[in-house]
């Protein structure tokens, strides 16, 4: 069966006209003779949208009963049975009522597409999973219904239904979007001009990124390697040198000249890991890239120009920015063409910018340092080999010398020079070359036993000895340098990986840093100071030691005690300091979040309390006020029955008001830890009838399972009674007709568990953490149900008595509240 096609209309905010556009497209398809049905459309009471549905075949919705409320949802089976060419399905991110085939409407749409039905649907930008948190930061409104980005990106067609922010506000003011009662609140909150502008930009950028991904996919599938200049993409090549900042800022300016330009920074790491780069500089340049709105990438390759060009082509780059070589002209002449010329030759249609900088030409071609990269021991071995091997070789050659052996004599001494160079480097090699040259001239070249160079070729031979020694020494020095760099890179990687591993295993990040730093550099002590406070320390610094202080940020300092660090050590220290600064920043953010959490919780409770007072306290207060006013104004004219009715109303309302205020005071006492609890042995069998009497129900409404040998509980009788009243009242309220609530008890070791069970709709898994939070009624909008404090109070009372109150799912549906208290020993 052919797969159906999905077309999604994307909007920046409610009211931009997605549903209207969907119905308009449905009308257009119908005019072309297509079979189009309305599977589900949410008009939200908008007259213009409702009028657009006229003339369509509308699939009747299915009714689902949830918590006593009838919900109408899309009838998936009916749409599949109807099998139209096109189905109009509104609100793709909608969450279906429990009991339907799928939890989310987008899964219903996938079923329709699999059945070969084309679907046109709608979604708002705030429902996209990857943008959900961004939208919440912009608007301050969390969105519970989301759709995965991957699902939306699989759509065959995505269109933005665009409307200017001010035009949307005008529509809102005219009552086109929301009813009059909600207009002012909407305009001053979610629909502020700044919010709408940001959401519109977010929608357009998301779609632009989707178009870019589709373009890249098309180019890959069709093997298109040349660039397509849909928009400027500037790739900046970083070496880890000091010129990186200059290149990044130049690249950012190039990208900014075209609307929607993109900045990418790339660093090529050699496959052997030996090419030197400064990790600290790379970390700083990575932060700069991100601050400029670009992205940082790292690739591995032995051929740097080839790796750069391949990355640029894979990114569909239009510009490539590289720096002028830091090598001198002599170095470039001796070692061949540099990276820049190779990149230009390989780049093809990608524009290459070679940017000069302060470090250009700063590196000079030089022979290895006199001390080189070899150890002192190896240089000593080289001199010893020259001093011992030279005379020994001379003695051997003298034994077998004749007039025809001069060639083998020269090659033997040359071999000695090479071996000495491999062992000891340049200075022992030069010493061996000069010594062997004079020995050849003195003992094997006529006139013998004189040092006299009478032919140019003899001088050339001596010069060749020296050149060979120098060249071999250069190779040895570079090999030793690379070997040392490899060992150091491995040690640095091990250090950083060790610190990261300790942090991931839950150890203190700062303590891990100071311990590893002291061990890695062989220091006597390391400390992190924040002001005058020691955040973490390791080792015992000497009292008369002058520490090396390295600033981490304006307030924190890394204090190093012991030996002074070399320049090579400073490079790794820069990486450690950068990571420490990041860790300190994260710690500061976590501390701020912890400090704000109680304020946020208190603000949440305060807002909920104000909302509850505005809705729940007003009703009994209004009832009592009306009853008293009626008695005062019409008292003599009222009949006895009317008078009694008004008095009953006033009494009932005042009792409700008293109960609500009592609960509020109890919540404040529980939260303040000032709950007065008097523990004593309580017989549950004697307490349950009192609970039933207070609720006004008989044994015929509640099934009791209380063992006769149940031990007494250690509890406060009054608090336990209120707990059971609250729990049982909820169970009775949510139990279906014909099914009783259940109160059961059982003893287990030194505890007694009381279970209050109902067979109602239960509690959704994603809301179970909220049922014990004050002012949460899980969608219950009946003001007669109280403030939503029952379970919160019950949990506080039980914990005050040293027990626990937990939720369990009742088998075959429903909720079970489990109260666990200590049993009194017989």
Q: Are 458 and 444 in contact (CB under 8 A)?
A: no
What distance, in Å, lies between the first and last C-alpha atoms of the chain?
Answer: 74
- How far apart CA 138 and CA 171 sit, in angstroms, is 21
pLDDT at 774: 56
**Mean pLDDT on 62-68:** 79
Which residues have a Cβ under 8 Å from the Cβ of 157 and sit 6 or more positions away? 5, 6, 7, 8
Residue 635 burial by CB count (10 A; 0-12/13-18/19+): exposed, middle or buried? Answer: exposed
User: pLDDT tens for residues 707-750?
Assistant: 888 888 898 887 888 888 888 888 888 888 778 888 888 887 78
Query: Global pTM?
Result: 0.36
How is residue 418 written in tokens?
């090479």
> Among 209-213, 606-610, 690-694, 770-774, whose mean pLDDT is lowest?
606-610
Give per-residue pLDDT as tens, 74-116: 999 999 999 999 999 999 989 888 888 898 999 999 999 999 9
Q: What is the pLDDT of residues 314-323, one digit of tens each?
A: 777 888 898 8
Give me the phi and psi of 378, to 5 degrees please: -65, -35
Q: Which residues pair with 62 in a beta bridge?
A: 73
Strands 319-323 and 233-238: parallel
pLDDT tens digits for range 145-198: 888 888 888 888 888 888 888 888 888 777 778 776 566 656 666 777 777 888
Task: With cut-offs at 50, 70 and 90, classify the pLDDT of residue 365.
Answer: very low
Q: Which of 716, 719, 458, 70 is nearest to 450 (CA)?
A: 458
Residue matched to tokens 């061990």:
519
Q: For 765, which DSSP code?
A: G
User: d(Cα 8, Cα 813) in Å, to the nearest integer?
Assistant: 37
**What is the reported pLDDT for 121?**
94
Average pLDDT over residues 666-691: 72
CA distance linking residue 175 with residue 348, whole number of Å? 58
Closest CA to 675 of 787, 795, 767, 790: 795
Reported as a single tens digit per residue, the pLDDT across 548-584 is: 888 888 888 888 888 777 766 776 777 777 777 877 8
Q: Decide: 776 and 653 in contact? Cβ < 8 Å.
A: no
* Gap between the Cα atoms of 541 and 408, Å rounded: 63
Taking only the tens place, the pLDDT of each residue in 419-442 is 887 888 778 877 887 787 778 777
**CA atoms within 13 A of residue 590's CA, in its CB half-sphere:** 6
Task: Encode 195-219 in three state secondary structure.
Answer: HHHHHHHHHHHHHHHHHHHHHHHHH
pLDDT of residue 613: 53
Q: Phi/psi at 460 (nearest 5 deg)?
A: -65, -40
Question: Which residues contact residue 294 at a Cβ distance below 8 angstroms, ignoring those fewer than 6 apart?
Answer: 236, 248, 251, 252, 255, 262, 263, 264, 265
The per-residue pLDDT for 335 is: 44
Structure tokens at 97: 């009522």
CB under 8 Å, gap of 24 or more: what pairs does 499-505 form?
499/579
Name all domains of the chain by residue range, CATH numbers in brackets: 6-221 (3.40.50.300), 233-355 (3.40.50.620), 376-481 (no CATH), 521-565 (no CATH), 567-674 (1.10.287.130), 680-822 (3.30.565.10)
């Amino acid at each position: 069966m052919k797969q159906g096609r999905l077309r999604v209309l994307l909007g920046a905010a409610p009211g931009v006209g997605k549903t209207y556009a969907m119905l308009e497209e449905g009308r257009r398809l119908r005019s072309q003779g297509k079979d189009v049905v309305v599977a589900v459309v949410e008009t939200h009471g908008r007259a213009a949208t409702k009028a657009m549905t006229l003339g369509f075949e509308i699939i009747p919705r299915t009714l689902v009963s949830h918590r006593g409320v009838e919900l109408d949802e899309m009838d998936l089976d009916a749409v599949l049975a109807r099998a139209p060419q096109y189905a109009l399905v509104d609100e793709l991110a909608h969450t279906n009522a429990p009991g339907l085939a799928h939890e989310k409407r987008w899964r219903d749409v996938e079923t329709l597409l699999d059945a070969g039905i084309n679907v046109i649907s709608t979604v708002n930008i705030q429902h996209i999973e990857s943008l959900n948190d961004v939208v919440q930061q912009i608007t301050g409104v969390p969105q519970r219904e989301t759709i995965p980005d991957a699902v939306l990106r699989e759509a065959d067609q995505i269109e933005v239904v665009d409307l200017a922010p001010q035009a949307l506000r005008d529509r809102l003011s005219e009552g086109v979007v929301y009813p009059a009662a909600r207009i002012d609140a909407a305009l001053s909150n979610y629909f502020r001009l700044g919010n709408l502008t940001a959401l519109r930009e977010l929608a357009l950028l998301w779609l632009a990124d989707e178009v870019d991904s589709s373009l890249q996919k098309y180019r890959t599938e069709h093997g298109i390697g040349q660039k397509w200049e849909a928009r400027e993409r500037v790739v900046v090549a970083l070496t880890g040198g000091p010129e990186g900042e200059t290149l990044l800022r130049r690249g950012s300016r190039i990208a900014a000249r075209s609307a929607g330009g993109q900045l990418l920074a790339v660093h090529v790491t050699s496959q052997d890991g030996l090419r030197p780069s400064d990790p600290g500089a790379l970390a700083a340049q990575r932060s700069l890239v991100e601050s400029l709105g670009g992205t940082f990438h790292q690739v591995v390759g032995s051929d740097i120009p080839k790796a750069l060009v391949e990355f640029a082509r894979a990114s569909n780059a239009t510009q490539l920015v590289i720096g002028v070589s830091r090598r001198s002209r002599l170095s470039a002449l001796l070692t061949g063409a540099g990276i820049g010329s190779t990149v230009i030759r390989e780049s093809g249609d990608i524009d290459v910018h070679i940017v000069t900088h302060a470090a250009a030409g700063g590196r000079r071609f030089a022979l290895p340092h006199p001390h080189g990269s070899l150890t002192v021991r190896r240089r000593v071995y080289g001199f010893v080999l020259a001093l011992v091997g030279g005379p020994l070789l001379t003695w051997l050659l003298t034994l077998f010398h004749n007039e025809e052996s001069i060639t083998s004599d020269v090659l033997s001494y040359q071999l000695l020079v090479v071996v000495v160079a491999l062992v000891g480097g340049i200075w022992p090699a030069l010493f061996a070359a000069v010594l062997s040259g004079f020995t050849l001239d003195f003992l094997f070249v006529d006139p013998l036993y004189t040092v006299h160079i009478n032919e140019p070729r003899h001088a050339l031979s001596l010069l060749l000895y020296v050149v060979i020694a120098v060249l071999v020494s250069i190779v040895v020095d570079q090999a030793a340098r690379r070997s040392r760099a490899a060992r150091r890179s491995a040690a640095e990687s091990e250090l950083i990986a060790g610190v990261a591993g300790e942090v991931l295993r839950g150890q203190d990040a700062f303590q891990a840093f100071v311990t590893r730093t002291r061990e890695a550099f062989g220091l006597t002590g390391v400390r992190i100071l924040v002001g005058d406070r020691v955040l973490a320390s390791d080792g015992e610094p000497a009292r008369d030691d002058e520490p090396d202080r390295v600033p981490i940020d304006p307030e924190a300092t890394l204090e190093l005690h012991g030996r002074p660090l070399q320049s090579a050590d400073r490079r790794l220290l820069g990486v450690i300091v950068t990571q420490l600064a990041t860790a300190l920043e994260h710690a500061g953010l976590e501390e701020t979040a912890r400090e704000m959490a109680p304020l946020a919780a208190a603000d949440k409770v305060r807002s909920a309390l104000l909302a509850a007072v505005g809705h729940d306290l007003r009703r009994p207060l209004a009832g009592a006020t009306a009853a008293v006013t009626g008695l005062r104004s019409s008292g003599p004219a009222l009949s006895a029955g009317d008078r009694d009715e008004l008095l009953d109303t006033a009494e009932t309302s005042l009792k409700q008001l008293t109960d609500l205020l009592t609960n509020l005071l109890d919540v404040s006492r529980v939260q303040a830890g000032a709950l007065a609890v008097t523990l004593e042995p309580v017989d549950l069998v004697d307490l349950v009838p009192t609970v039933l009497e207070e609720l006004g129900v008989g044994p015929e409404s509640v099934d009791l399972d209380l063992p006769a040998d149940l031990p007494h509980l250690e509890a406060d009788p009054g608090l336990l009674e209120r707990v059971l009243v609250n729990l049982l009242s909820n169970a009775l309220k949510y139990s279906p007709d014909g099914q009783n609530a259940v109160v059961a008890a059982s003893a287990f070791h030194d505890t007694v568990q009381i279970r209050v069970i109902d067979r109602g709709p239960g509690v959704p898994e994603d809301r179970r953490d909220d049922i014990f939070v004050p002012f949460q009624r899980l969608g219950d909008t009946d003001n007669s149900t109280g403030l939503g404090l029952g379970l919160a109070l019950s949990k506080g009372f039980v914990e005050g008595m040293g027990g626990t109150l937990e939720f369990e799912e009742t088998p075959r549906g429903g909720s079970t509240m489990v109260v666990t208290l200590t049993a009194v020993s017989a």
